[in-house]
Amino acid sequence: MHGGTTTGFAGAIRYDLKRLHESWMALFFPRQRGTETGVLGKWEPSSTSGKIAYRAWSALGAPVVAALYPLALVGFAVRYYTRRIDGTATRLGALGVILVSILVWGGLTALARLRFSTTGFLAVGAAGGIATVAAALAYLTGTRGGRASTVLLAYPFAMSALFLPPVVAALYSPTLSSVVLDNSYTLAIWILDNPLDLWGLNTLLREQFTLEGANYVAMWFGISVPVGWLVGLLVTLADVVRPKSA
């Protein structure tokens, strides 16, 4: 927090909105953020055309900020949990992340050996192996790269590592199937009837694919990418409003 500007709930909201609007202004104009303690202060244009452009961009930013702020609030919560996971992963290191993934998904594979057919056991084991590789890639792209690689690669890899083995196991377990696959089917209908209801895309998918067997795995792999991007963007938005040091 920064002094009296964030005193109380209303003050915190004003601070957040101010930071978000300054970030919007900084897309095209220099020296907009963090100028309270600077000698020069916030930059403003001196020409008439510059002032018109500056004020127009500022006015346009008001509804954008109003629309983005609720997402930033969600981003604060998401960032809290991702920081805890990132901190644990950093302490474990790449080898530790791999070992934990092997332990978790190896346990699921061992259970599959006892409960499933040989085919089911091999499928779950393969899914666990792929998930372990994805977890390692999530760690490497999240710690060795910058913000772009974290959002574009690390979060989707992490989602894939999380989603894949349970979905594969559900293909061979009636108990898991009633939870995972039934809810996946309901989710698929919602996605087709809402986000993918564009240019006949949902009709094309319904004609070309039947949601059964391995297509459930393909569905969740497809979901893991945009979900990972969404998580990354929410965390990024939270960092814009309140950086890690704030």
CA nearest 166: which of 85, 88, 109, 230? 109
Angle at alpha carbon of residue 164, lines to 129 and 189, rounded to 5°:
165
Query: Does the pLDDT of residue 37 top 70, yes or no?
Result: no
φ/ψ (deg, to 5) at 159: -65, -40
Give me the numbers of helices (H) and strands (E) for the chain, helices first please: 9, 0
Per-residue model confidence (pLDDT) at position 22: 86
Mean per-residue pLDDT of the chain: 86
123 in any annotated domain: yes
Q: 33 vs 13, which has greater pLDDT?
A: 13
22 in any annotated domain: no
Average pLDDT over residues 128-149: 89
Q: Are 227 and 195 in contact (CB under 8 A)?
A: no
pLDDT confidence tier of residue 3, bands split at 50, 70 and 90: very low
Q: Are 201 and 128 in contact (CB under 8 A)?
A: no
Average pLDDT over residues 218-222: 90
23 in any annotated domain: no
Query: Does the pLDDT of residue 81 top 80, yes or no?
Result: yes
pLDDT confidence tier of residue 196, bands split at 50, 70 and 90: confident
179 in any annotated domain: yes
Number of domains in the chain: 1
Per-residue model confidence (pLDDT) at position 136: 92
Residue 91 belongs to domain spanning: 87-241
φ/ψ (deg, to 5) at 210: -110, 130
Per-residue model confidence (pLDDT) at position 206: 86
pLDDT confidence tier of residue 168, bands split at 50, 70 and 90: very high
Tokens of 153: 């690669």
| pTM for this entry | 0.79
119 in any annotated domain: yes
Per-residue model confidence (pLDDT) at position 122: 92
Query: Taking each helix axis from N to C terminus, what angle separates 8-25 and 48-115, rounded to the nearest 10 degrees?
Result: 110
Q: What whole-number distance in Å separates Cα of residue 28 and Cα of residue 41? A: 17
151 in any annotated domain: yes
Q: What whole-number distance in Å separates Cα of residue 211 and Cα of residue 197? A: 17
39 in any annotated domain: no
